[in-house]
Amino acid sequence: MKAAITGVHGFVPDYILTNEELTRMVDTTDEWITARTGIKERHILRGEGLGTSDMAVEAVKGLLNKTGTSPEEIDLVICATVTPDMTYPATANIIADKAGIKNAFGFDLNAACSGFIYTLVTASKFIESGTHKKVLVVGADKMSSIVDYSDRTTCVIFGDAAGALLLEPSKNGYGIIDSILRSDGSGRQHLHQKAGGSVRPASRETVDAKEHFVYQEGQAVFKFAVMNMADVSVEIMEKNNLKSNDIAWLVPHQANLRIIDATARRMGISKEQVMVNIQRYGNTTNGTIPMCLYEWENKLRPGDNLILAAFGGGFTWGSVYLKWAYDGNN
Q: Nearest 5°: CA angle at 21, between 20 and 26?
A: 100
Task: Tell me which of 9, 79, 110, 113 is the catalytic residue.
Answer: 113
136 binds ligand UT7 (CB under 6 A): no
Rg over alpha carbons for the chain, rounded to the nearest Å, is 19
Residue from 6, 19, 37, 69 touching ligand UT7 (CB under 6 A): that is 37
- Closer residue to ligand UT7 in complex, CB, 6/283: 283
H/E element, 60: helix 52-67
- Closer residue to ligand UT7 in complex, CB, 104/226: 226
The residue among 302, 301, 299, 319 whose CA lies nearest residue 310 is: 319
Q: Decide if 155 is catalytic.
A: no
62 binds ligand UT7 (CB under 6 A): no
**Half-sphere exposure at residue 47, Cβ-oriented, CA atoms within 13 angstroms:** 11
Task: Tell me which of 253, 256, 286, 292 is the catalytic residue.
Answer: 253
147 binds ligand UT7 (CB under 6 A): no
32 binds ligand UT7 (CB under 6 A): yes
Pairing of strands 76-80, 105-109: parallel
Contacts 24+ apart (CB under 8 A), 293-297: 293/5, 293/8, 293/163, 293/165, 293/251, 294/8, 294/9, 294/10, 294/163, 295/10, 296/249, 296/251, 296/328, 297/8, 297/328
The residue among 188, 43, 207 whose CA lies nearest residue 110 is: 188
Residue from 52, 53, 91, 283 touching ligand UT7 (CB under 6 A): that is 283
Number of residues that this document lists for the chain:
330
- Closer residue to ligand UT7 in complex, CB, 196/218: 218
State how far the alpha carbon of 169 is from the alpha carbons of 29, 35, 67, 173, in Å: 48, 43, 15, 9
Q: Decide if 305 is catalytic.
A: no
Q: Decide if 79 is catalytic.
A: no
219 binds ligand UT7 (CB under 6 A): yes
Query: Which residue has the closest beta carbon to ligand UT7?
Result: 218
Neighbours of 247 (CB within 10 A): 21
Instruction: Please choose, out of 8-16, 33-41, 128-136, 204-212, the segment that lies near ligand UT7 by the rule CB under 6 A.
Output: 33-41
Instruction: Please choose, out of 6-14, 77-85, 151-159, 298-306, the segment that lies near ligand UT7 by the rule CB under 6 A.
Output: 151-159
Least distance (Å) from ligand UT7 to the CB of residue 141?
A: 11
Residues belonging to the active site? 113, 253, 283
Binding site for ligand UT7 (CB under 6 A): 28, 32-33, 36-37, 113, 152-153, 156, 218-219, 221-222, 225, 255-256, 259, 283, 312
